[in-house]
Structure 1
């Protein structure tokens, strides 16, 4: 017979009721990787946004695995690195618990950086995987200012303080500096992939050109471990386990859809452009 205490505690979330079911915790990492989430954007990933979800996922009792459900075209390299490092820090405390990554529409660039934080990577046969490269973009408005007779007033201390200013003509030395920065970031990305994937990577094809591949080809190249989806593989590997979702909390303004309109719309357009590179 169920006691009155059991009935009451059964309705209170977070109370341990002696449930001994095995758990596979799932963390959704969906969106562009950016330090500045937008209330109008399609979703974003950064350490502040996903920290609580990652912590909850690894804190489950009877934890059999942590699954990362990844759908991201990439974004900020620093946030990619911070989130990936946090995943490995938490995983180190649960040495017998595997971390599995599941790529959805796209796990490209920073999205693939996140996937490499897992011990095993899986993708759908239609998933786009890879894009191990570095990209940055912007606009030049110098000609536009001249056309409308607008005078640009910029004052700096330090000869390189105004590098790549969009309202000034582009300088060859600034482009050279940017290319060097890209090369260094690319080297860090390549080193991370090699560290995490090791001998699984194909030795016969250049995987670091920024190209992307569909699931089957990505498996052939060693970028992923298998083709399949989360529920299918979890049912095979952990048939007695219950799947528990741990979704990142959205900031209050994002939940309300409130923000600085002009900045938010521009950010949303920028994020849309990142998804559009992969036909999404």
Structure 2
């Protein structure tokens, strides 16, 4: 017991010291970063090199020295012939979108697309590896609008889905001229949902009133604290139905082959069933598709990385340090109990 008291005292002093240091560092970072705008950088890597490294490493492990010499000689000859022919390979620009509820990845996607459009031609291709279960309507509306820029520029767009593209995620996917999904990827959920708690009765039981003043009949329909009315519910449902209709029309515009009323029920389908519903065009993983394209095209992976400010870096480092400290403390405390 005495050990626990001493340990708790030591822990409290340590936490106090760490917090004090963090406050000082964050304050300094805030003062230094005041008035500055954080910027990002476009990172580009050639995926052909990545695939070649995998292939070469396997060759070195499997083939004998004599076999390697023969292979290298053939590769060198083929490279010379290709260079002599002077044929320009098409380019494939690979982008990634890992969507959260706010579609935060849109901030990077918009810059990546701007970069691609500055030099891509109709002979090239954009491949988007998309993973998203959907989220806020306006956020995914903006993300979808970024992809529309590619279609309007006349550049082929292929969307690859390995795990999930549902709701707002499918809203993005449907813009692709070709949609490729893994056999058990989740697709669909073409619907709209909204929910919120209402604490009015609880507050009423404790004699707590909430005053909600509005100018405009439908400035507020359903609320968390106020008393909801049937008229408000009807208006709220009407807004949902309007949004759903816009969603359906958007999908139908880019996937006219769909029986939109049949698939726009909010249901989801796995890739195999989604192919039958024509929600996708082919069943393959993104790895398979890109490895195949690498044989006759130059593949470039683009990622726009936001440059974090000093304040953000200090905050992130502090968060990681506190997490590690908490885990270490819990681990020690747990071990002490078992002793």
Q: Larger deviation: 52-61 or 188-197?
A: 52-61
Equivalent residue, structure 1, for 2:95: 27
Whose Rg is larger?
2
Q: Which has the higher helix share?
A: 2
**What's the offset of the Cα at 1:126?**
1.4
The match for 2:268 among 207, 212, 217 is 212
In the alignment, structure 1 residue 80 sits paired with structure 2 residue 148: no
The match for 2:240 among 174, 182, 185 is 182
**What's the offset of the Cα at 1:162?**
3.0
Q: For the structure 1 residues 257 and 191, does the alpha-carbon distance in structure 2 shift closer, same or farther, using more than 3 Å as the test?
A: farther
Distance 2:197 2:184 in 1: 33
**What's the offset of the Cα at 1:102?**
0.8
Conserved? CA contact 2:109–2:146, under 8 Å? no
Equivalent residue, structure 1, for 2:195: 137
TM-score, structure 2 as length reference:
0.60
Q: For 2:269, what is the secondary structure of its paired residue? A: strand
Distance 1:78 1:108 in 2: 16
RMSD (Å) for aligned C-alpha atoms: 3.0
Conserved? CA contact 1:50–1:249, under 8 Å? no
Conserved? CA contact 1:33–1:110, under 8 Å? no
Q: For 1:157, what is the secondary structure of its paired residue? A: coil
Q: Larger deviation: 153-162 or 215-224?
A: 153-162
Q: For the structure 1 residues 247 and 143, does the alpha-carbon distance in structure 2 shift closer, same or farther, using more than 3 Å as the test?
A: farther
Distance 2:171 2:97 in 1: 12
In the alignment, structure 1 residue 231 sits paired with structure 2 residue 291: no
Conserved? CA contact 1:23–1:60, under 8 Å? no
Deviations 1:207-230 (CA, angstroms, capped at 9, x unpaired): 111000000110111000011112
**Structure 2 segments unaligned to the other structure (5+ residues):** 1-42, 45-87, 320-339
Conserved? CA contact 1:139–1:166, under 8 Å? yes
**Structure 1 segments unaligned to the other structure (5+ residues):** 1-12, 15-19, 36-43, 262-280
TM-score, structure 1 as length reference:
0.71
